[in-house]
């Protein structure tokens, strides 16, 4: 089963998880950390892997002329229903139904690791961006997807038991505050992502490994994630 199909199977779980106020890291700190890399509104912004549309709605409210793209029928329907004035397109990230050079900004917030044909999707991003257009990305940090902490204590050891350099599918089943979500993703090394950027003609302008700020810690044990990054952010320019 493809990652697209797995996300469609868990779409209702994700809609509830993503829209619960203050529940997900998106609301507590992650969105604002990511937005520090995002340029001001320009000609057209494409939100790649927009899901149920939470970032798309925020970008629109901030003045971006934005199109959301997702492959899940249920998530596309939810995004459209949340704001019928938004342009939301159901499409494969590796075959975007958009014209060459039509956008000056593409954002992919927590979606590239959920796309099977990641390299082809990056190539499509390069195609629809105008020269010098920007590509802003947030992913699960590859060190995070490769290993895990041995316990929940702040000083717990972090261990990589598998093969960091090889791509593999993984599943995270998470329960928090009465809600559950099963995340299906693919681990890829840093080199795999940056080879895709290089092949597509991108130059990386900025790279961030943000830590959880003190105000967003939910327990003393969650300080362990101030030692190992949860996420990786970058901004690249089409050259």
Tokens 């993984």 correspond to 170
Reported confidence tier of residue 141, pLDDT bands at 50, 70, 90: very high
Average pLDDT over residues 8-34: 94
Q: What is the pLDDT of residues 63-82, one digit of tens each?
A: 999 999 999 999 999 999 99
Q: What is the pTM (predicted TM-score) of this model?
A: 0.96
Q: What is the pLDDT of residue 150?
A: 95
Residue 149 has pLDDT above 90, yes or no: yes
Residues in the chain, overall count: 239
Angle of helix 190-200 relative to helix 118-128, nearest 10 degrees, comes to 30
List the chain domain ranges: 3-238
On whether the 3-238 domain is CATH 3.40.50.150, my answer is yes
Q: Could you read off the pLDDT of 45-56 as tens digits, one per residue?
A: 999 999 999 999
Nearest to 40, CA basis, from 102, 104, 100, 85: 104
Mean predicted confidence (pLDDT) in 181-194: 97
Q: What is the mean pLDDT of residues 183-208?
A: 98
């Amino acid at each position: 089963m493809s990652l697209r199909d797995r996300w469609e199977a868990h779409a209702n779980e994700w809609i509830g998880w993503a829209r619960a106020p203050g529940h997900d890291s998106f609301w507590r700190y992650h969105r604002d950390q990511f937005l520090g890399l995002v340029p001001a509104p320009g000609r057209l912004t494409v939100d790649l892997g927009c899901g149920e549309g939470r970032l798309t709605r925020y970008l629109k409210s901030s003045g971006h002329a934005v199109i959301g793209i997702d492959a899940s029928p249920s998530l596309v329907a939810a995004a459209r229903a949340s704001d019928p004035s938004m342009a939301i397109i159901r499409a494969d990230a590796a075959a975007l139904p958009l014209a060459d050079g039509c956008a000056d900004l593409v954002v992919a917030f927590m979606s590239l690791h959920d796309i099977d044909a990641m390299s082809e999707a990056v190539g499509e991003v390069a195609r629809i961006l105008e020269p010098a257009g920007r590509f802003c990305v947030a992913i699960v940090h590859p060190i995070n997807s490769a290993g895990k902490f041995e316990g929940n204590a702040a000083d717990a050891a972090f261990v990589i038991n598998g093969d960091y350099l090889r791509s593999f599918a993984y599943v995270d089943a998470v329960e928090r505050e009465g809600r559950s979500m099963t995340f299906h993703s693919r681990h890829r090394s840093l080199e795999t992502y940056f080879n895709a950027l290089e092949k597509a003609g991108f130059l990386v302008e900025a790279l961030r490994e943000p830590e959880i700020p003190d105000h967003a810690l939910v327990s003393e044990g969650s300080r362990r994630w101030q030692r190992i990054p949860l996420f990786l952010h970058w901004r690249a320019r089409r050259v």
